[in-house]
Structure 1
Amino acid sequence: MTPALNVSNINGVLLELDKIIAQCEREGSREAYFAVLYRQMTEAVRKGISDNIFEDCPRMERLDVIFAKRYISAWHCYRNASPCSLSWQTAFDACKKNDLTVVQHLVLGINTHINLDLSIAAAETAPGQDIFKMQTDYDRINDIIATAANDLQIRLEKIWWPMKLLTRISNDRHKAVINFSILKARQTAWASAAAMAMTEGPAEKNYITGLDNGVTAIANRIIDPGIWAASLLKIVRWSEERDVGKIISLLK
């Protein structure tokens, strides 16, 4: 049994994420990059629940816990050489690569956790027609994420110094990259959650398997985006911070 199964509230989620981040820091593992981002998003949602901005705050906390447990469980399974989803296996394996940019690692985590895990968690939190009662609160999280993503972009400028120059040239338009990735993923996840909420049994399992395969295909394109994009990413990788421990500190 993984520690994730003992998590029952959002504060417990944050504690588990802190443990993952601390272990990754000690090991100098790139797995910490997404864990740090996810902790920041979770803290922002926790504040939203505390501020009572949702129509149904207890339901949103249940969603957050179910959602987080999928990532935490996947991380522990991977670390213990136990089976996890193919898309998480791909994302975690990529953390061993030295030639990917920090943004690629972050987007790999975003892709798997939102496109796969969020869809499943939302359908589990509100099965059947209840899924549509949750849409307003689900959409409200987008505003929270947008703020957190903009804060992240500022930290990324410290990791890849040319981004500061890009900020002046583009009038901050490039700051939409991470935010766009998250919001587009959440839109796709909602469509998948709505479909999944109406299925059960073998049909649901088949849907999840197909979804996992599709998310893995996206992950592989993030890792190997083609010759032209790869050439540009090599330039970014060459000029960004190399020390994993320092990058983790800068992302916090």
Structure 2
Amino acid sequence: MAQCEQLTTTVDAVVLRMRALDATLPEHDGVAVFNRVYLAVTEAVDRHIDGGRFPDARAAITLDVRFAERYLAAVAADEERRPPACWRPLFQMRRHPGVRPLQFALAGINAHIGHDLALAVVDACRSLGCEPVDLEDEFDRVGDLLVSLEERIREDLMPGPDLLQIADPLTHLLGSWSLERARDATWSAARALWALRRLPDLAEEFTARLDAAVGFAGRMLLTPLPD
């Protein structure tokens, strides 16, 4: 097993950073909407870790922290107008009056799951000196938490009409994206990136294409809609 890197950041520390970010953002800002959702997810993961719900707590903490750091780094990069392509649509559209809160939340989830999570798995494997397969249980448990929260997010942020009214433009738009499909694709991407770790040029090209593809999906999710 490769030598492990020392992980000094805790889940509590990234929670505090997200809370501090929330305090600086206007309530209806698109990034603020996603930040509140992601904060709730991270707090839930923290409770599950503290409650012994993850068999390997160190692996769960490492994956969760590496995952959160990707989002926080994207926010910091936006201040210099250099965010990853997957996050660019949310940062560019964050104040658009024609975009609904649910669109902001799911566009952020799309960027974070579709791109950041794959890279976080690789980051965590390097930190722990393990293979992606060794983190599959932690990956699945975090994914299950996200899926369980997605329905609540849709219910809380969905303005009428009811979700079953499929003629509504928002319902139609959001029906084209699935968290479970995104999670499955991310696991495949993480394994591919790990397999390419000794081929840096190919790994960089793969990462750039993943970033662009996820950004394209995010732009679709943020299509402005009529009132």
Q: TM-score, normalised by structure 1?
A: 0.74
- Pairing 1:37-186 to 2, within 5 Å after superposition: 37-78=37-78, 80-126=79-125, 130-156=131-157, 160-163=159-162, 181-186=178-183
Question: C-alpha distance in 2, partners of 1:8/1:134?
Answer: 19
> Structure 2 vs 1, CA of residues 223 and 143 (structure 1 numbering), >3 Å: closer, same or farther?
closer
| Cα offsets for 1:36-83 (capped at 9, x unmatched) | 0000111111111111122311111111111111111111221x2242
Shift of 1:145: 2.2
Give the drift of 1:30: 2.4
| Partner in structure 1 of residue 205 of structure 2 | 206
- Identical amino acids, percent of aligned pairs: 23
Decide whether aligned partners of structure 1 residues 122 and 53 sit closer, same or farther in structure 2, where only a CA change above 3 A counts: same
How many angstroms does 1:32 deviate by?
0.3
Q: 1:137 to 1:204 in 2, by over 3 A?
A: same
Deviation at 1:146, TM superposition (A): 3.2
Contact 1:124 1:197 in 2 (8 A): no
After the TM superposition, list the runs of 4 or more consecutive aligned residues in structure 1 that deviate by more than 4 angstroms. none
- Shift in Å, 1:110: 1.0
Q: C-alpha deviations, 1:86-138, integer Å up to 9, x for none?
A: 12122210113111122211121011111000010012212597101211221
More divergent stretch after superposition (181-190 vs 116-125): 181-190
- Aligned residue type for 2:125: A
Aligned length: 210
Q: Deviations over 1:8-52 (max 9, x none)?
A: 0100110010011111137x5221000000001111111111111
In the alignment, structure 2 segments of 5+ residues that lack a partner are 1-6
For 1:18, give the aligned amino acid.
R
Equivalent position of 2:20 in the other structure: 19
- For the 8 Å contact 2:30–2:90, the answer to whether it is kept is no
SS at match of 2:96: coil
TM-score, normalisation: structure 2: 0.82
Give the aligned CA root-mean-square deviation in angstroms: 2.6
